[in-house]
Amino acid sequence: MKELKFKISGMHCGSCEKIIQMELDDTEGVLESRVDSKTSSGFVKTEDNVSPETIIETIKKAGYKAELNEG
């Protein structure tokens, strides 16, 4: 299991959070996700075989930009 943090740009409200969260929750291998528009961040717990790039692409598919926050 991996825990990944992301910086997400383009979110403005709770609806943005829900859109991203729904996409993440529908992604195979995602076990848990949290998105916060106030901090422009996301937390995703995944199975080991899910790459950060997969999560970034999922967020991009929802209409937002993301990058791995390694700090």
Domains of the chain in sequence order: 2-68 (3.30.70.100)
Cα of first residue to Cα of last residue in the chain, in angstroms, is 19
* Model pLDDT for residues 12-39, shown as the tens digit of each residue: 999 999 999 999 999 999 999 999 999 9
d(CA 49, CA 18) in angstroms, rounded, equals: 25
- 0.95 surpassed by pTM: no
User: pLDDT-derived band of residue 70, with 50, 70 and 90 as boundaries?
Assistant: confident
CB neighbour list of residue 64: distance below 8 Å, 6 or more residues apart: 8, 9, 10, 11, 16, 20
* Model pLDDT for residues 45-55, shown as the tens digit of each residue: 999 999 999 99
d(CA 52, CA 57) in angstroms, rounded, equals: 9
User: pLDDT-derived band of residue 71, with 50, 70 and 90 as boundaries?
Assistant: low
